[in-house]
Amino acid sequence: MPFLEKNRFVLGCLLLTACSAGISIYSNRAVHLLYLPSVFIPLLFWWAFFSSLLPGRIPLVTQIGESARGPLSKEMRAYTRSVTVLWTIVLAIITLGAIGSPFWKLDNPWLKSSLLFNYMVIPIVFIGEFYLRKWKFKDHNHPGLIDYLKIVTSTNIIKGPIKKDRIAL
């Protein structure tokens, strides 16, 4: 499969998931499988953002912006790169929190971290960044929040990080 050949990290996560599932089932601790999605889903999204920040690549949020609007200004490209860094940090924190949550001394920490924290932080960051961009780039033509969500979901980012030499700058 070409997607997995290009994304060894994804393949590694799938292999780790399969091994974890096998060990959990073998040791009669299958309940631990419930923790895996709250770790691996943000980890995969983290990898998508992080890998787009590697040298010679175009940051993921820049790709989305250019896919929706065409070439971006230098200021907007710098801003979209910083937003990609922000999402990389947020997703790393969410992933680390999901890994550590079974060890917290709280009542049902996994539930609190994966359902409450994650589902509160992601929309707050997403909506907060949207309004920060509207404030920072007042002269820019901004779609409404619903149209913006449609733009983000309609871009084809599954093909992997775009290398800078594939597009004209």
Mean pLDDT of 101-106: 66
Residue of 5, 88, 81 lying closest to 43 (CA atoms): 88
Cα Rg of the chain, angstroms: 18
CB 22 within 8 A of CB 128: no
Its pTM stands at 0.72
Mean pLDDT of 88-105: 82
* pLDDT over 70, % of the chain: 67
pLDDT for 165 beyond 50:
no
Arithmetic mean of pLDDT over the chain: 77
